[in-house]
Structure 1
Amino acid sequence: MTAESPSPAARRTGVPLLVVMALLVVAPMIALSASPLHANGSLWYLGMLPALMGLFTHRRLALAASVLTPSLMGIALLLRDIPLLGAIFMAAVAVGTGLAAARGWHLMAAFAGPLVAYALIGNLFVTLPSGTVAADASIVSGLTAMAYVAGGGLWTSLVGAFVVRTVGVKPPRAVAGHTARHFAAALGILIGITAFICMQWLDPASWWIILTFFVVVQPYYADSTRRVLERVGGTLAGALIAVIIVGLLHGFPTVITVIAFVLTIGAAYANLKLPYWVFAMLLTPAVVLQTSGSTRDLLFSVGERTLYTLIGAAAAVAVMWAGHRYLSRRAARSTGAVADSR
């Protein structure tokens, strides 16, 4: 069973009820961001992303994402100081994402994968009664971080289903099995190697390179090359939006949290209905605002993440071009061999 167009009954509920339900989805995150546990509002938000994408297919997929994402993030936290194992683990997550395309589940997986990279490479923090600490500081901090991510996903899966059903969007389409396997191999090699480089030599913000791979590399070559250009343009525009938002509202963190959620909903809709650059332009400030830590460091953070996005886009272009050329030559040789046999 997949997501379908809204029924007449759903349409009759009207805009007011839709707004109320959307507010219910975001209410826990707003409450957290306005409390002494404000750092955990970002964790809740991150947990919402894969679940929201899963809802475009089915609530069961969203619920699965709500459990799978924090579990993978927990494993990643344990591997932060072991680059080789961390890289192998990220490669496995990437291969799983590629194979999921055969079921049309790769949209959800492509949002879970970057969060795993964030836990493995980035600076992930959680607020405990004793204060805000790194998520990998102890077993308690790791489990607490996982619990908030899971809470955001489960809440979104249960409450957000009504919103998605009412809006009515088509689920992502599945791809052919052989295409999914090629996609999985390319993504696994690309992300595995990059994860090792990031863990061994680069700073924590380099997880944005892997995020770029997950959202740019697609099952079909033509889609990927178009996305690279749109990703760069959308990221630059989104970075500018983030700077403007913080410049105007730096003293109102709760308002910034609400804006981040609104941008995320807009990005989710754009990912299925509008050109990809719109999606990138909306999601970039949403994620930056929720993962940059102190707003004092936002300008540096925006510049650094934009740089890593450009690096990721360039690397993706090089690998996809090489892979496409290899497959094209192999197909040409096979065609020539068949012609000669006749």
Structure 2
Amino acid sequence: MSVWKRAALVFVTLSMAGVVAVAILLARVDNFLKQPLFLEAPTMYEVTQGSHYRGMLANWSQSGWIKDSWHSRLIGRLYPDLVHIKAGTYQLQPGTSVKDALALVSTGSEFQYQLTFVEGERYRDWRNRLLEAPGLKRTLDDLSDEAVMKALGISDRSVEGWLFPDTYFYTHGSTDLELLQRAYRAMQGHLTFAWEQRSPDIELKTPYEVLIMASIIEKETGVDDERGLISSVFDNRLKKGMRLQTDPTVIYGLGDAYQGDIKRVHLRQKTDYNTYVIHGLPPTPIAMPGIESLMAAVKPESSEYYYFVASGGGRHYFSKTLREHNQAVRKYILGK
């Protein structure tokens, strides 16, 4: 065999050996990436600013989540899209592959916490929920209600009613004020839309009066198909100059003095919110209304009803006259 042939054979042999070696390295890197995270439960993991993927993998190895291998050093060359990790807080799931976990962190897909504010809750209920919300940075603890109003840009008498009930998603480190700002902007948008859809003959003269009325409707019923009738009762009473005489406003005015039962003395007690005593609307909303109550406030059904009483199952019996109403009270409340 000539020298040139032997040289060619050696070259081919070395090339093939190189290809085999590379293939083996690729397979071992892929095997490393395919291994599952050994976690007993979903686990929150924080990546700090300036972190490197090798340091993160070393931390996972020290925690017993993965089996370490020097082949992990080659990930940056073979899979560059997986190694540019981003600061944030991520939820790692048991059994997720190392590759998928790296993809999660490199795309910045932070864990989304969620906090639900329910229709009919009051502002103080929201403050309590914010205190318990995980991952949320608390900045409101030492602020008065007036200071919160200023921070939100609310110029009315109260924050009450101005925060839209919904489920809000947020990432670790978001502030409680940021959540309230989002809820405030959402309510502004929904209230503006409702006001633009209002019936021309309703007694409510401003968007804020709509917000107040919607909050009362929200507290009076949780049944969607009743909201329009509830609204019609209040609209009819306002047009006739009658007091609204709605219990939820009395309860709100009592504050902490309310112990779960309205007594006759409460109906005669003078507060700014007792609609058995005052004429017209209370000075502020009494709860956070949802979109259904906002729309009911601006579009009451057409009816001749002036009274209603709880009839069971969350529903109400509506009456046109006081005599009919008193009969309904005896039937549904007094059981006579």
TM-score, with length taken from structure 2 = 0.24
Rg (Cα) greater in structure? 2
Going by fraction, where is helix more abundant, 1 or 2? 1
Going by fraction, where is strand more abundant, 1 or 2? 2
TM-score, with length taken from structure 1 = 0.24
